[in-house]
Amino acid sequence: MMSKVLVIGSGAREHAISHTLLRGGSVTEVFCAPGNPGMRKDGITVVNLSQSNHSALIDFVRDKNIDWVFVGPENPLIDGIVDDFAEAGIKAFGPTRRAAQIEGSKTFAKELMERLHVPTAAYADFDNYDEAVAYVHEHGAPIVIKADGLAAGKGVTVAMDEDTAVEALSDIFLDNRFGDAGSRVVIEEFLEGQEFSLMSFVRGSEFWPMPISQDHKRAYDDDKGPNTGGMGAYSPVPQIPQSVVDEAIKTIVKPITAGMAAEGNPFTGILYAGLIATQDGPKVIEFNARFGDPETEVVLPQLTSDLGAGVYSILNGETPEFTWDNVRTTLGVVVASNGYPNATQTGALIHDFDCSATADSNGTHVYYAGVAESENGEDLVASSGRVLLVQTTAESVQEAQKIIYDIIENTDTTGMFYRHDIGNKAMR
């Protein structure tokens, strides 16, 4: 069936989803609300509607005879947008408000894992600053502090000493840095190992895993600086053996999806498992209820089947087909505004990145995130922290790095910065 689709969201993740839907063939038109002006370069129709205005989005779907909706970001999912679409008789790909709690509340996720015996770090949760500080002093460092709710990827502190942990608790409880998201905290044991992301298409107890990827959360080279929403990623992750991935599917993804369905809270959509390969096997760091960003921008280019047809099959109770390029490496580097993630300085002029010399069947692509039109309407300028991501697919991590960094270094990125070591962990 040929479909018209609405994608909810505005970032590089939604740009990648929309672009992949269009290249699949079964989706003839993609609208993105609110989208960003950079998406228009790929023939995506940007719609000036807020992702929080559910009733206006429902009216738009009806007015444009849109066949189904793909919800990108976490906030509308946790606000129940899929429930509202369902009530209006509209098919939307994403979890219900109840199921999205797996991301919306770290306490919910931890208690779920405890019930289902899913391997994760030992933890305690608190809604009181003094009690949380006492726990840190009792257990010592390194230790991990997490705001319970949504904090745009910035609510986690890996504290290598007790002072840093206490400072993080002060930020959350006393300075109210994350608002309601910080009314509770989860404090976890520190786990050693390489992190990786395992995302799956899910319908109840059925799931279809994607190739794994590795995100780079710290702002600066060599994993220095504050945590961000992600500064780049690559996929697959050669240093994580397939046996570890298989174990993660068996001990984490399968029991979580089956358990949620058995508890009357089935999950449909994208389940993101943020994992760490420890000496005791893979363990869960966090779950997300949607595609990761920037992982989406390096995983979806590996898809060799039709994304729209696959998602449509899931929504209609049929068996989807997902096939992947499992030979080559896809790598993406984020270009961010100076000062991100703390004192972001927006307004930098964005110059075109010359990707023409590297085109192949997947090509090299720019996915736009925090961009706006300039006053003259002819250029794009940086409008938030993460501005764009440059992605390529090549025969190896080293070759992908060379292509990407040649492109970025030959482009004027005044007012912006990027990491120079995305993918280096694959070569250690």
Asked whether the beta carbons of 229 and 61 are under 8 A apart, the reply is no
Q: What is the pLDDT of residues 46-66, one digit of tens each?
A: 999 999 999 999 999 999 999
Q: What is the helix (H) or strand (E) element at residue 392, kind and residue range?
A: strand 386-394
Structural domains in the chain? 3-97 (3.40.50.20), 122-189 (3.30.1490.20), 193-315 (3.30.470.20), 329-427 (3.90.600.10)
How does the average pLDDT of the chain come out, rounded? Answer: 93
Asked whether the beta carbons of 31 and 386 are under 8 A apart, the reply is no
Asked whether the beta carbons of 187 and 144 are under 8 A apart, the reply is yes
pLDDT at 107: 87
As a whole number, mean pLDDT of residues 128-137 equals: 90
pLDDT at 180: 66
Confidence tier at 357 by pLDDT (50, 70, 90): low
CB atoms within 10 A of CB 62: 12
Q: Which of 180-189, 198-207, 261-270, 294-303 has the lowest mean pLDDT?
A: 180-189
pLDDT at 11: 97
Asked whether the beta carbons of 397 and 423 are under 8 A apart, the reply is yes
Rounded to an integer, what distance in angstroms lies between the CA atom of residue 26 and that of residue 3?
Answer: 6
Contacts of 69 (CB under 8 A, 6+ apart): 5, 6, 7, 8, 57, 61, 85, 90, 91, 92, 93
pLDDT at 358: 54
As a whole number, mean pLDDT of residues 218-227 equals: 94
Q: What is the pLDDT of residues 361-401, one digit of tens each?
A: 457 999 999 999 998 888 999 999 999 999 999 999 999 99
Q: What is the pLDDT of residues 102-117, one digit of tens each?
A: 999 888 999 999 999 9
- pLDDT above 80 (res 80): yes
Confidence tier at 181 by pLDDT (50, 70, 90): low
- pLDDT above 50 (res 127): yes
**Nearest Cα residue to 329 out of 389, 274, 272, 392:** 392
Rounded to an integer, what distance in angstroms lies between the CA atom of residue 204 and that of residue 268?
Answer: 6
- pLDDT above 80 (res 74): yes
pLDDT at 359: 47
pLDDT at 2: 87
pLDDT at 111: 93
Q: What is the pLDDT of residues 245-272, one digit of tens each?
A: 999 999 999 999 999 999 999 999 999 9
As a whole number, mean pLDDT of residues 203-217 equals: 97
Q: How far is CA 45 from CA 7, 42, 89, 301, 315, in A?
A: 10, 9, 23, 21, 23
Could you tell me the pTM of the whole model? 0.93
Q: What is the pLDDT of residues 292-339, one digit of tens each?
A: 999 999 999 999 999 999 999 999 999 999 999 999 999 999 999 999
CB atoms within 10 A of CB 119: 18
Confidence tier at 428 by pLDDT (50, 70, 90): low
- Kindly state the DSSP code that residue 211 receives in the 8-state scheme: P
Confidence tier at 157 by pLDDT (50, 70, 90): confident
